[in-house]
């Protein structure tokens, strides 16, 4: 269960507005941020995600796809759905990151080159942001690299700031790890225990462990930040669940991080439902979109055996798979693939056909998944419970979905999307069993 410990510390303020090595200041209450009398409107709480384009470890890490979603998209979704922020911002110096941020519904602050250097600190970028936004009273600095953040965490922290009067709140996680001093040649030749007595090693259940910052978020009021601190004044921590403490700066093994996110991540306000029907666009999803014409004018298409296996696995799991195309393609050619799927071709209105199939099976939209890749798929992608596109889908389709495959159309995208469905269905089953 989440817990909070209250605490405060004192120090001399830093007049240069930069971080100091002393203890942070104990601040007096003032009228800014809703602490004084006669304040008519609540303090403006802004979420701020810092996402520069110059990541050294993983190029453009902040928008690299994690479980089919740009990394920054996970925290933006949580921040927006929490409903506690008057504004949600991304501070960036990169065009692609700006586009992704706007796609998810965030506002963008274009940071200057002065605070986009390798040597620039988070505080530098936050101070610059505040210099341009006088309306902001409290900043919730959320790390883009914490994809398992949930709205409930942000709601509780906002309450601590607004209702309980804390000047700063930061996230921690509890660890049960024994620490030892470092051996340094010529300085310290033996190691010493730092937080245990080796003669009386406690069992895990007999030890509360220790609290560590997990870097997920740092909330602070403007007057504290302007003194050069993100932690200070009346200060508290917020303890996050261990399974939600995923930091991509640490978990650099991307596939492992993806499994954690698929199991513990936040997928939106509405609960996931079990998928009963997958509709797949033929051209550009089942196939790579290339059409070859033989000498006798017959169409020849190519597909990946992995995708055929994906369809087979879906059907064995009780998920109906149907194919659709807005092109006048040959049903005989598709049938020759022996996929045993119902299909409709030459469809001018894909949404109407999918809706008819849905009603025929007695399903709600949340029980339908759709894999598309073109403008003609946009409405279906927006309507269904689970949507996906191949890596080479058009930009319009990519903006409408919740999952972007690593594979291209006709090159394993359908199989990959099937695996994604299976992982989410496992999540649905586990939630029902709780």
Cα 346 from Cα 324, distance rounded (Å): 8
Name which of 237, 236, 238, 230 is nearest 25 in CA terms. 230
Tokens of 273: 């439902």
CA angle 73, 310, 61 (to 5 degrees): 25
- The pair phi, psi for residue 332, each rounded to 5°, is -65, -40
203 labelled catalytic: no
Name which of 368, 348, 366 is nearest 357 in CA terms. 368
CA angle 285, 264, 319 (to 5 degrees): 40
The enclosing H or E element of 14 equals: none
Cα 75 from Cα 89, distance rounded (Å): 11
Which one-letter DSSP state was computed for residue 203?
P
Of 18, 110, 201, 327, the active-site residue reads 201
Cα 162 from Cα 221, distance rounded (Å): 10
Name which of 362, 343, 366, 363 is nearest 353 in CA terms. 343
Would you name the residues annotated as active-site residues? Answer: 201
């Amino acid at each position: 269960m989440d817990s909070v410990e209250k605490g405060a510390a004192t120090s001399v303020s830093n007049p240069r507005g930069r971080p100091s090595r002393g203890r942070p200041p104990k601040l007096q209450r003032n009228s800014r941020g809703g602490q004084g009398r006669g304040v008519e409107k609540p303090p403006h709480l802004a979420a701020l995600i810092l996402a520069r384009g110059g990541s050294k470890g993983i190029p453009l890490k902040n928008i690299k796809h994690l479980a089919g979603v740009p990394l920054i998209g996970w925290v933006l979704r949580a921040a927006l759905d929490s409903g506690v922020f008057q504004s949600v911002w991304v501070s960036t110096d990169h065009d692609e990151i700006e586009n992704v941020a706007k796609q998810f519904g965030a506002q963008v602050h274009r940071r200057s080159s002065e605070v986009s250097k390798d040597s620039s600190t988070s505080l530098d970028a936050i101070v610059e942001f505040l210099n341009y936004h006088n309306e902001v009273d409290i900043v919730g600095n959320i790390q883009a690299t914490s994809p398992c953040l949930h709205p409930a965490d942000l709601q509780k922290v906002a309450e601590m700031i607004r209702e309980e009067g804390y000047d700063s709140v930061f996230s921690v996680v509890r660890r049960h790890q024994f620490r030892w001093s470092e051996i340094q040649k010529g300085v310290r030749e033996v190691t010493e225990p730092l937080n245990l007595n080796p003669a009386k090693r406690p069992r895990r259940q007999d030890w509360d462990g220790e609290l560590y910052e997990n870097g997920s978020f740092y909330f602070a009021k403007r007057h504290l930040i302007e003194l050069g601190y993100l932690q200070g004044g009346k200060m508290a921590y917020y303890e996050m669940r261990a399974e939600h403490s995923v930091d991509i700066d640490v978990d650099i093994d991307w596939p492992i991080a993806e499994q954690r996110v698929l199991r513990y991540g936040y997928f939106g306000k509405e609960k996931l439902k079990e998928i009963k029907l997958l509709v797949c666009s033929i051209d550009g999803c089942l196939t790579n979109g290339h059409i070859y014409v033989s000498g006798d004018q017959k169409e020849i298409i190519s597909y990946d055996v992995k995708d055929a296996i994906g369809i087979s696995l879906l059907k064995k799991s009780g998920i109906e798979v149907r194919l659709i195309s807005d092109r006048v393609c040959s049903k005989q050619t598709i049938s020759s693939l022996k996929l045993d799927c119902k299909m409709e071709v030459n469809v001018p209105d894909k949404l109407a056909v999918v809706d008819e199939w849905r009603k025929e099976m007695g399903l709600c939209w949340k029980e339908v998944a759709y894999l598309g890749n073109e403008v003609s798929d946009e409405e279906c992608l927006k309507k269904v419970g689970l949507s996906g596109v191949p890596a080479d889908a058009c930009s319009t389709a990519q903006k409408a979905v919740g999952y972007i495959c690593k594979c291209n159309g006709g090159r394993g995208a359908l199989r990959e999307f099937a695996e994604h469905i299976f992982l989410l269905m496992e999540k649905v089953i586990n939630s029902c069993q709780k």
